[in-house]
Amino acid sequence: MNFRLTTRAEQEYDALPPTLQARVDKQLALLLQNLRHPSLRAKKYDEKNDIWQARVNQGYRLYFRIAGDTYEIVATELPETLNVVIWVRQGKERLALANVSGAMMIQATVPTALGLLFTPWQFDTALALAAGATIVSIGYLLLTLRSGRLTTGRLAVSAVGYLLFAGLFLLTPR
Protein backbone atom coordinates (compact mmCIF):
# COMPACT_ATOMS: atom_id res chain seq x y z
CA MET A 1 0.00 0.00 0.00
CA ASN A 2 0.98 3.64 -0.61
CA PHE A 3 -0.39 6.90 0.67
CA ARG A 4 -0.98 10.30 -0.89
CA LEU A 5 -1.95 13.54 0.82
CA THR A 6 -4.51 15.84 -0.78
CA THR A 7 -3.54 19.50 -1.00
CA ARG A 8 -5.72 20.29 1.98
CA ALA A 9 -4.24 17.48 4.09
CA GLU A 10 -0.73 18.59 3.13
CA GLN A 11 -1.48 22.16 4.23
CA GLU A 12 -2.96 20.95 7.52
CA TYR A 13 0.04 18.68 8.09
CA ASP A 14 2.49 21.54 7.43
CA ALA A 15 0.67 23.69 9.99
CA LEU A 16 1.01 21.06 12.75
CA PRO A 17 3.61 21.40 15.49
CA PRO A 18 6.66 19.13 14.94
CA THR A 19 5.71 16.73 17.76
CA LEU A 20 2.27 16.15 16.23
CA GLN A 21 3.78 15.79 12.74
CA ALA A 22 6.03 13.03 14.14
CA ARG A 23 2.99 11.30 15.63
CA VAL A 24 1.13 11.54 12.29
CA ASP A 25 4.20 10.08 10.53
CA LYS A 26 4.26 7.17 12.99
CA GLN A 27 0.57 6.45 12.51
CA LEU A 28 0.90 6.66 8.71
CA ALA A 29 3.70 4.07 8.85
CA LEU A 30 1.43 1.80 10.92
CA LEU A 31 -1.41 2.37 8.44
CA LEU A 32 0.81 1.26 5.56
CA GLN A 33 1.68 -1.92 7.47
CA ASN A 34 -1.75 -2.84 8.81
CA LEU A 35 -5.08 -1.02 8.55
CA ARG A 36 -6.28 -2.93 11.61
CA HIS A 37 -3.32 -2.02 13.87
CA PRO A 38 -4.78 -1.53 17.39
CA SER A 39 -3.28 1.93 17.95
CA LEU A 40 -4.95 3.26 14.77
CA ARG A 41 -8.46 2.24 15.79
CA ALA A 42 -9.35 2.65 12.12
CA LYS A 43 -13.03 2.63 11.28
CA LYS A 44 -15.40 3.71 8.54
CA TYR A 45 -16.32 7.31 9.36
CA ASP A 46 -18.66 8.23 6.50
CA GLU A 47 -20.10 5.29 4.58
CA LYS A 48 -21.68 7.42 1.85
CA ASN A 49 -18.41 9.21 0.94
CA ASP A 50 -16.19 6.21 1.79
CA ILE A 51 -14.15 8.15 4.35
CA TRP A 52 -12.21 6.30 7.04
CA GLN A 53 -10.90 7.61 10.33
CA ALA A 54 -7.72 6.60 12.16
CA ARG A 55 -6.51 7.77 15.54
CA VAL A 56 -3.33 9.86 15.76
CA ASN A 57 -3.57 10.57 19.48
CA GLN A 58 -6.30 11.06 22.07
CA GLY A 59 -7.68 14.22 20.49
CA TYR A 60 -6.49 14.13 16.89
CA ARG A 61 -7.64 12.03 13.93
CA LEU A 62 -6.59 11.26 10.37
CA TYR A 63 -9.25 10.95 7.63
CA PHE A 64 -8.65 8.98 4.43
CA ARG A 65 -10.14 7.11 1.49
CA ILE A 66 -8.93 3.81 0.10
CA ALA A 67 -8.44 3.89 -3.67
CA GLY A 68 -6.95 0.65 -4.96
CA ASP A 69 -3.58 0.26 -3.27
CA THR A 70 -3.43 3.90 -2.09
CA TYR A 71 -4.60 5.56 1.10
CA GLU A 72 -5.68 9.05 0.07
CA ILE A 73 -5.32 11.23 3.16
CA VAL A 74 -8.06 13.84 2.83
CA ALA A 75 -7.63 15.66 6.15
CA THR A 76 -5.65 15.47 9.32
CA GLU A 77 -8.66 16.73 11.27
CA LEU A 78 -12.09 17.55 9.97
CA PRO A 79 -13.37 20.95 11.08
CA GLU A 80 -16.35 20.90 13.42
CA THR A 81 -18.67 22.31 10.76
CA LEU A 82 -17.78 19.54 8.30
CA ASN A 83 -18.62 16.91 10.92
CA VAL A 84 -22.00 18.58 11.38
CA VAL A 85 -22.65 18.66 7.61
CA ILE A 86 -21.81 14.95 7.31
CA TRP A 87 -24.07 14.03 10.22
CA VAL A 88 -26.98 16.08 8.87
CA ARG A 89 -26.57 14.40 5.44
CA GLN A 90 -26.70 11.03 7.23
CA GLY A 91 -29.94 12.04 8.97
CA LYS A 92 -28.27 12.43 12.38
CA GLU A 93 -29.56 15.95 13.11
CA ARG A 94 -29.69 15.39 16.87
CA LEU A 95 -26.04 14.32 16.93
CA ALA A 96 -25.08 17.41 14.91
CA LEU A 97 -27.08 19.70 17.21
CA ALA A 98 -25.58 18.05 20.31
CA ASN A 99 -22.08 18.48 18.89
CA VAL A 100 -22.55 22.17 18.16
CA SER A 101 -24.29 22.73 21.51
CA GLY A 102 -21.49 20.96 23.35
CA ALA A 103 -18.83 23.00 21.60
CA MET A 104 -20.74 26.20 22.36
CA MET A 105 -21.12 25.18 25.99
CA ILE A 106 -17.39 24.59 26.38
CA GLN A 107 -16.57 27.84 24.63
CA ALA A 108 -18.96 29.67 26.93
CA THR A 109 -18.06 27.99 30.22
CA VAL A 110 -14.25 28.08 30.08
CA PRO A 111 -14.00 31.89 29.72
CA THR A 112 -16.77 32.27 32.31
CA ALA A 113 -14.93 30.05 34.76
CA LEU A 114 -11.73 32.02 34.22
CA GLY A 115 -13.65 35.25 34.72
CA LEU A 116 -15.15 33.97 37.97
CA LEU A 117 -11.78 32.82 39.23
CA PHE A 118 -9.73 35.89 38.36
CA THR A 119 -12.12 38.84 38.65
CA PRO A 120 -14.25 40.21 41.46
CA TRP A 121 -17.95 39.65 40.86
CA GLN A 122 -21.20 40.19 42.66
CA PHE A 123 -24.57 38.56 42.25
CA ASP A 124 -26.60 41.58 41.15
CA THR A 125 -29.68 42.32 39.05
CA ALA A 126 -27.84 42.01 35.73
CA LEU A 127 -26.53 38.58 36.66
CA ALA A 128 -29.99 37.44 37.80
CA LEU A 129 -31.50 38.68 34.51
CA ALA A 130 -28.84 36.84 32.50
CA ALA A 131 -29.53 33.64 34.42
CA GLY A 132 -33.27 34.06 33.94
CA ALA A 133 -32.93 34.70 30.18
CA THR A 134 -30.71 31.64 29.84
CA ILE A 135 -33.06 29.35 31.78
CA VAL A 136 -36.12 30.51 29.83
CA SER A 137 -34.32 30.13 26.51
CA ILE A 138 -33.01 26.65 27.33
CA GLY A 139 -36.43 25.55 28.55
CA TYR A 140 -38.09 26.83 25.38
CA LEU A 141 -35.53 25.11 23.14
CA LEU A 142 -35.78 21.85 25.08
CA LEU A 143 -39.57 21.78 24.84
CA THR A 144 -39.64 22.54 21.11
CA LEU A 145 -36.87 20.01 20.40
CA ARG A 146 -38.56 17.24 22.38
CA SER A 147 -41.91 17.92 20.74
CA GLY A 148 -40.28 17.77 17.29
CA ARG A 149 -41.28 21.33 16.43
CA LEU A 150 -37.87 23.00 16.39
CA THR A 151 -37.53 25.22 13.32
CA THR A 152 -35.18 28.04 12.40
CA GLY A 153 -37.89 30.55 13.31
CA ARG A 154 -38.38 29.05 16.76
CA LEU A 155 -34.61 28.91 17.22
CA ALA A 156 -34.44 32.62 16.38
CA VAL A 157 -37.17 33.33 18.98
CA SER A 158 -34.87 31.99 21.69
CA ALA A 159 -32.29 34.62 20.71
CA VAL A 160 -34.79 37.41 21.37
CA GLY A 161 -34.40 36.95 25.14
CA TYR A 162 -30.65 37.36 24.88
CA LEU A 163 -31.02 40.45 22.69
CA LEU A 164 -33.46 42.03 25.16
CA PHE A 165 -31.09 41.29 28.03
CA ALA A 166 -28.10 42.73 26.14
CA GLY A 167 -30.07 45.86 25.29
CA LEU A 168 -31.22 46.35 28.89
CA PHE A 169 -27.73 45.68 30.20
CA LEU A 170 -26.11 48.18 27.85
CA LEU A 171 -28.74 50.86 28.52
CA THR A 172 -28.76 50.47 32.32
CA PRO A 173 -26.53 53.04 34.04
CA ARG A 174 -23.92 51.66 36.40
pLDDT exceeds 80 at position 103: no
Same domain (yes/no): 35, 74: yes
89 vs 92: CA distance, rounded Å:
7
User: Considering the chain, what is the average pLDDT of its residues?
Assistant: 84
Could you tell me if residue 115 is inside a domain?
A: yes
Please give the tally of structural domains in the chain.
Answer: 2
pLDDT (0 to 100) of residue 81: 63
- pLDDT score for 28: 94
Residue 4's φ and ψ, nearest 5 degrees, are: -140, 135
Each residue's pLDDT tens digit, 19-30:
889 999 999 999
Whether 104 has a pLDDT exceeding 80, the answer reads: no
82 — pLDDT class (breaks 50, 70, 90): low
We report the CATH number of the domain holding residue 19 as 3.30.2310.20
- In this prediction, residues 131-144 reach a mean pLDDT of 86
Q: Any residues with CB less than 8 A from the CB of 99 and at least 6 apart, and which? A: 80, 83, 84, 87
In a domain, 87, yes or no: no
Note down the domain range covering 66.
2-78
Residues 67 and 98 in one domain: no
Residue 84: inside a domain, yes or no?
Answer: no
Does 99 lie in the same domain as 58? no
Same structural domain, 72 and 97: no
In terms of domains, do 51 and 22 share one?
yes
Domain stops at, among 46, 78, 110: 78
Residue 47 lies in a domain: yes
Quick check: 161 pLDDT over 80? Answer: no
**What percent of the chain shows pLDDT beyond 90?**
25
2, pLDDT greater than 60: yes
